[in-house]
Amino acid sequence: MLNNLFALLRDLLRPRHDLMLENLALRQQINVLRRGNTRPAFRLRDRLFWVVLMRIWAGWRRPLALVKPETVIAWHRKGWRLWWRWKSRPKEAGRPRVPWQAIELIRRISAENPTWGAPRIHGEMMMLGYFVSEATVARYMHKRRGAADAELEDVSS
């Protein structure tokens, strides 16, 4: 009884916002217990609640009853690890893609001008504002049958 009296006096002297945060923390734990599990399972939103509460309220450990304070700190560290892994992921690996319009244009110029090679088409592409390498132009040009291919086909038939 005396212990409860001292707790009441202490609560009367505490700032109102501390009491509100403690009330919020206790209500959250009651909601976890109401889910009916024998061992309460903390969902992601429950964990985020405690991590945020830890960041904004110095007395967050006092009303904590369902988990250890070390567990909340571990959740916070795990969140930071996930955030930094996401933040430092490679944006796009490899070379930038060649625009589809450029590939179509290379094929069209190559088909309409059969005597032009990759260097000439590359020059035309640069004049049109498409900055792709000569090797890229050669890769996407129409494949032409040369004299050697025609001779091999004649010999095989």
Phi-psi map region of 64: left, alpha, beta (phi>0 left; psi -120 to 50 alpha): beta
Per-residue model confidence as pLDDT tens digits over 13-60: 777 777 788 878 878 877 777 677 666 778 888 888 888 888 888 887
Q: Residue 64: its pLDDT value, please?
A: 76
Per-residue model confidence as pLDDT tens digits over 128-146: 999 999 999 999 998 776 6
Q: Where are the domains of the chain?
A: 13-87, 95-142
The per-residue pLDDT of the chain, averaged, comes to 81
Number of H helices, E strands in the chain: 8, 0
